[in-house]
Amino acid sequence: MIFPKALKIGDTVGLISASGATPPDKLKPAIESVEKLGLKVVVGETCQARHGYLAGTDQLRASDVNQMFNDSTIDGIFCIRGGYGATKILPLLDFDVIRANPKVFAGYSDVTALHIAINQKCGFVTYHTPMPSTEFIQQDMDEYTWDSFKQLVMATTCHDYLLKNPLGHSMTTLAAGQATGQLIGGNLTLVTASLGTPYEIDTKNKILFLEDIDETEHRIDRMLTQLKLAGKLDEAAGILLGAWTNCGPDNPKHPEHSLSLQTIFQEILVPLKKPILMDLTCGHCLPTMSLPLGSTISLNTENQQIRVIE
């Protein structure tokens, strides 16, 4: 896998939305938040477009992605937000252009669809990170989250460092063991939605990271079961579980009518007999860790250590 050239102060970043429309009142603060990093900003058309719940038509959103990769004056691309719609533009992307122009590509949540496709079809690392119109502009955007983000996209080195939770946030060993493989994944809903498509996630001998938000426990059970039946969990070398924000029972007044996430993980994942770490501070949460998707990592659940080795 190729590591894109790290961004440096003075570089130019393109802001796009491959998914949902950006609230108008959040655009200016989002731009300013990126500029505070010492980066110049080019605003894609999709940041100011709306087509119902989408940031413009499928054609416009795909065009923004293609143009930002094809433009040699753009050093990196930040997805301004998530939402829904990235999967819809995959057939319209010019993967030959993207492959020929590897550059920092950052975002998470719905952006998972693009991470999977770019990692697998274009062969370069992309970054699971917080985004300008959501986390960047929040008052509680913390130092850990900023440092983790900058370490990836503006780092001078790209290997041999540990992925650590912030102080006071412990990881939990769900299943003991060690594994080495390419880090892949992201949002569980988007990972599952890739199945049966030309952009289906390849988990063979890889470390699969999963997180989600606003899903009930039975839906998480259903998606993990689908991944299991599709062979994706059995093929993985190891599993990392991040934040499960607002994921609980259908009826909070009767949690006994549901299965807890812990029970679901114990029943579906532990029998795989693969190393599994949970409570990684990463996902729809603050603080949050940034991840180099596509890089090779080593996972040791016995000492709860995750090392980027490529």
- The tens digit of pLDDT for each residue in 130-179 reads 999 999 999 889 999 999 999 999 985 556 889 999 999 999 999 999 99
pLDDT at 310: 75
CA distances from 165 to 171, 182, 228, 258, 279 (A): 7, 20, 28, 29, 9
pLDDT at 155: 80
pLDDT at 158: 59
The helix (H) or strand (E) run that includes residue 183 is strand 178-187
Q: Which residues are catalytic?
A: 109, 211, 284
Question: In this predicted model, what pLDDT tens digit does every residue of 191-214 receive, in sequence order?
Answer: 999 999 999 999 999 999 999 999
In 3-62, at which residue ranges do the beta strands (DSSP E only) sit?
12-16, 40-43
pLDDT at 103: 97
- Give me the average pLDDT of each 10-residue run along the chain (310 residues): 95 98 97 97 98 98 98 98 98 98 98 98 98 93 95 77 95 97 98 98 98 97 98 98 95 87 97 97 97 97 92
The helix (H) or strand (E) run that includes residue 28 is helix 24-35
Whole-model pTM?
0.96
pLDDT at 251: 86
pLDDT at 29: 97
Q: What is the mean pLDDT of the chain?
A: 96
End-to-end CA distance of the chain: give it in Å, rounded.
Answer: 9
Q: What percent of the chain has pLDDT over 90?
A: 93
What one-character DSSP code corresponds to residue 135?
Answer: T
Residue 186, SS3 per DSSP: strand
How many other CB atoms are found less than 10 A from the CB of residue 24? 10
Query: Contact at 8 Å (CB) between 186 and 293?
Result: yes
Give the full edge-to-edge strand order of the sheet including 238-245.
161-162, 305-308, 296-300, 178-187, 207-213, 238-245, 276-278, 172-175
CA distances from 96 to 117, 127, 275 (A): 12, 20, 36
pLDDT at 257: 84
What one-character DSSP code corresponds to residue 210?
Answer: E
Instruction: Kindly give, in sequence order, each residue whose CB lies less than 8 Å from that of residue 234, ignoring residues fewer than 6 positions away.
Output: 228, 272
Residue 157 burial by Cβ neighbours in a 10 Å radius (0-12, 13-18, 19+): exposed
Give the pair of three-digit tokens for residue 106: 């950052």
